[in-house]
């Protein structure tokens, strides 16, 4: 028997994690929304990683994110057509097995009454899950405690491939997180069974191997761990190094990419490799992302790239993030649908070595869009990406980041356009350039001149041709950060001795429903934009508003249709650590607006020729030979 999925319970004694592993609640529906009536889950019932107590007269359901079996994905992407569920229990209980369809409707498919120490088997067909659906089981106890001693989903079918995976972890000054990841792996023998090598690619100054706990975690992992020190080449450079090293490993059929600022569920690593072994064609297997600071909240399920704006987004974006405290699997019909992804973020993504041989390494993008571009490139070569439910980790969320207006604005702009030049099938990139120009206009109206300056730099680099990507791989980031000193709005004011005030006080707005804003649309939007651009072009700021901010906004109120109405504004930073001051600069506004219009027009004119150049250059940009010279400065520690 081959184990496809173990039933597991949380590593941490964290009550917020329980809804991800079991559904012990009873629910009702009020105003068409699921509402928890009672909670029967207790941390004390989790006896260890595999065992759980069910108290007398209670019922525990494993229709949960980590313990239900994603039957539709296994039916669609593998040739397995039956699985066996094995449940080991102690005590008098009833084990009930359920399935769902793509619409979330539930059916009971089998049950067994058991007593004493029992091992119960259920053979289940994987033949009716084409559109979606899960399998799971419940345990209902009788008059005494029942203990679930363990459970797993297995098959007798042999996998299509049997190799292990090398793990590639890229880090820049996130040493503490890396130590936690390595420790968790060292304590997870099931995960280590599918791991050939762990490549820890350290590109920072606060080195992981200098941490006090490193010798202990390194000793636990032995020769499985290899720490590699190299210059900071961004995420794309670190992951390209892991790909490069994996190509030389005969024992590895895959590379499993992991971000540094994460907490892992080791069973997820084992599941992703197992799924990758069984797929009918070599397939990229992605993991979902939960919020590290709000752990029951799922941010990403299946991500796609919209063709005409050529922009990434969540499928069913309006339903995410999803909080499993508010609705578990049985109360969330959308989560029963099989969702097909275009790409998966490299916070966790398994890539078959055969794919790397065929399509090359990561694009030298530094950060942003390298994961999406690689998956699109792989798809064009016949290798799909599957974001597999039940495979996930916890990642530092982007909710508390300002990365669209800090130094990363350069990479957001450049790499999106480069990916569009490489993969967009729409004439002139569809609406990509129009959308890019609108992003510039919004920043300009909000007096965010620094990101516009970086975006203009990005457009010039794109126009210079594909050769610039390797040429400025190591210099683009420090160059972008160096420009910040010329833009006062980049300073986050945190001095505890100084309380910043605005002349007219804080602007407070009523919170609307999730995803609903009071922004202008249609004719009102066009009129607002025209009126605001003319005002910022002609209007000279009131000197009083240059001396002190005119108004104050909370971060979530500082929208592009509100801030432009003032000469200056005090705005909270995304992480709440301080405040930025945005001030209207008429001369800078005029210069940047003219340059944005000119560069976007040039890009539109030259799009066909540029696309041909970038596509012709792509094979040379992603070869191991092209990357190898940048890997020469290194120090390996086994």
Catalytic residues: 371
Any idea what DSSP says for residue 105?
-
Q: Are strands 93-100 and 135-141 parallel, antiparallel or unpaired?
A: antiparallel
Task: Select from 263, 261, 258, 289 the least CA-distant residue to 173.
Answer: 261
Task: Select from 138, 122, 134 the least CA-distant residue to 69.
Answer: 134
Helix, strand, coil percentages, rounded to 5, for the chain = 40, 25, 35
Separation CA 260–CA 200 (nearest Å)? 9
Q: Are strands 52-54 and 294-300 parallel, antiparallel or unpaired?
A: unpaired
Separation CA 206–CA 216 (nearest Å)? 18
Q: Are strands 33-39 and 25-30 parallel, antiparallel or unpaired?
A: antiparallel
Burial 275-295 (b: 16+ CB within 10 A, else e): bbbbbeebbbbbbbbbbbeeb
DSSP codes, 474-540: TTHHHHHHHHGGG-GGG--B--TT-----SS-EE-----STT------HHHHHHHHHHHHHHHHHPP
Contact criterion met (CB below 8 Å) for 572 and 555: yes
Separation CA 621–CA 637 (nearest Å)? 28
Say which residues have a Cβ less than 8 Å from residue 347's Cβ, sequence separation at least 6. 258, 259, 262, 287, 289, 393, 395
Contact criterion met (CB below 8 Å) for 410 and 458: yes
Task: Select from 168, 388, 374 the least CA-distant residue to 288.
Answer: 388
Burial 541-553 (b: 16+ CB within 10 A, else e): beeebeeebbbbb
Separation CA 235–CA 204 (nearest Å)? 12
Say which residues have a Cβ less than 8 Å from residue 637's Cβ, sequence separation at least 6. 209, 218, 226, 227
Tokens of 328: 């578990």
Tokens of 550: 């005119």
Angle at 443 between CA 439 and CA 444, to 5 degrees: 115
Find tokens 């280590």 and name the residue.
192
Separation CA 309–CA 386 (nearest Å)? 23
Please report, for residues 207, 325, 424, the alpha-carbon distance to residue 173 in angstroms, rounded to integers and kept in the order given.
7, 33, 35
CA dihedral 204, 484, 373, 241 (to 10 degrees): -20
């Amino acid at each position: 028997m081959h184990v496809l999925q173990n039933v597991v319970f949380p590593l941490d004694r964290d009550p917020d994690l329980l809804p991800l592993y079991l559904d012990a609640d009873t629910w009702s529906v009020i105003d068409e929304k699921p509402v928890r009536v009672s909670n029967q889950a207790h941390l004390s019932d989790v006896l260890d990683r595999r065992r759980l107590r069910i108290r007398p007269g209670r019922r525990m359901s494993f229709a949960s994110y980590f313990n239900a079996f994603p039957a539709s994905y296994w039916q669609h992407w593998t040739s397995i057509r039956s699985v066996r569920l094995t449940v080991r229990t102690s005590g008098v209980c009833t084990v009930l097995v359920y399935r769902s369809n793509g619409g979330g409707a539930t059916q009971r498919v089998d049950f067994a009454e058991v007593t004493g120490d029992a091992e119960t088997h259920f053979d289940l067909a994987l033949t009716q899950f084409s559109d979606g659906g899960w399998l799971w089981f419940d345990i209902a106890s009788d008059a005494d405690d029942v203990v679930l001693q363990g459970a797993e989903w297995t098959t007798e079918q042999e996998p299509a491939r049997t190799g292990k995976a090398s793990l590639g972890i890229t880090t820049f000054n996130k040493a503490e997180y890396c130590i936690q990841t390595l420790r968790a792996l060292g304590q997870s023998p099931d995960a280590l069974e599918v791991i050939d090598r762990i490549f820890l690619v350290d590109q920072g100054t606060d080195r992981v191997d200098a941490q006090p706990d490193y010798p202990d975690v390194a000793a636990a992992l032995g020769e499985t761990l290899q720490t590699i020190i190299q210059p900071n080449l961004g995420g794309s450079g670190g992951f390209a190094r892991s790909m490069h090293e994996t190509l030389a490993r005969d024992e590895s059929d895959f590379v499993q990419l992991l971000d540094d600022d994460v907490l892992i569920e080791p069973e997820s690593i084992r599941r992703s490799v197992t799924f990758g072994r069984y797929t009918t064609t070599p397939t990229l297997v992605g993991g979902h992302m939960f919020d590290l600071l709000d752990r029951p909240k799922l941010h990403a399920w299946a991500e796609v790239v919209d063709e005409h704006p050529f922009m990434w987004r969540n499928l069913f974006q309006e339903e995410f993030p999803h909080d499993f405290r508010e609705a578990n699997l049985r109360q969330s019909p959308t989560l029963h649908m099989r969702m097909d992804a275009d790409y998966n973020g490299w916070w966790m993504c398994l890539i078959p070595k055969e794919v790397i041989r065929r399509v090359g390494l990561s694009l030298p993008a530094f950060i942003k869009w390298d994961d999406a571009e690689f998956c699109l490139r792989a798809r064009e070569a016949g290798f799909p990406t599957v974001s597999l439910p039940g495979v996930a980790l916890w990642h530092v969320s982007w909710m508390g980041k300002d990365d669209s207006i800090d130094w990363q604005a350069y990479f957001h702009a450049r790499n999106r356009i480069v990916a569009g030049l490489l993969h967009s099938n729409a004439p002139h990139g569809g609406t990509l350039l129009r959308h890019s120009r609108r992003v510039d206009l919004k920043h300009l109206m909000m007096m965010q001149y620094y990101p516009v300056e970086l975006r203009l730099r990005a457009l010039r680099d794109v126009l210079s041709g594909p050769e610039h990507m390797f040429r400025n791989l190591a210099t683009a980031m420090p160059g972008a950060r160096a420009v910040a000193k010329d833009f006062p709005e980049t300073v986050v004011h945190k001095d505890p001795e100084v309380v910043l005030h605005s002349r007219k006080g804080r602007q407070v707005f009523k919170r609307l429903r999730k995803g609903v804003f009071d922004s202008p649309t249609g004719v009102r939007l066009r009129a607002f934009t025209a009126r605001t651009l003319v005002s910022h072009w002609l209007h000279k700021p009131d000197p009083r508003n240059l001396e002190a901010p005119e108004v104050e906004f909370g971060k979530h109120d500082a929208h592009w249709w509100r801030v432009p109405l003032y000469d200056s504004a005090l705005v909270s930073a995304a992480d709440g650590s301080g405040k930025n001051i945005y001030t209207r600069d008429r001369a800078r506004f005029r210069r940047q607006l003219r340059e944005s219009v000119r560069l976007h027009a040039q890009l539109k004119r030259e799009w066909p020729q540029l696309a041909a150049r970038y596509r012709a250059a792509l094979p040379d940009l992603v070869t191991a030979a092209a990357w190898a010279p940048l890997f020469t400065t290194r120090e390996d520690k086994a």
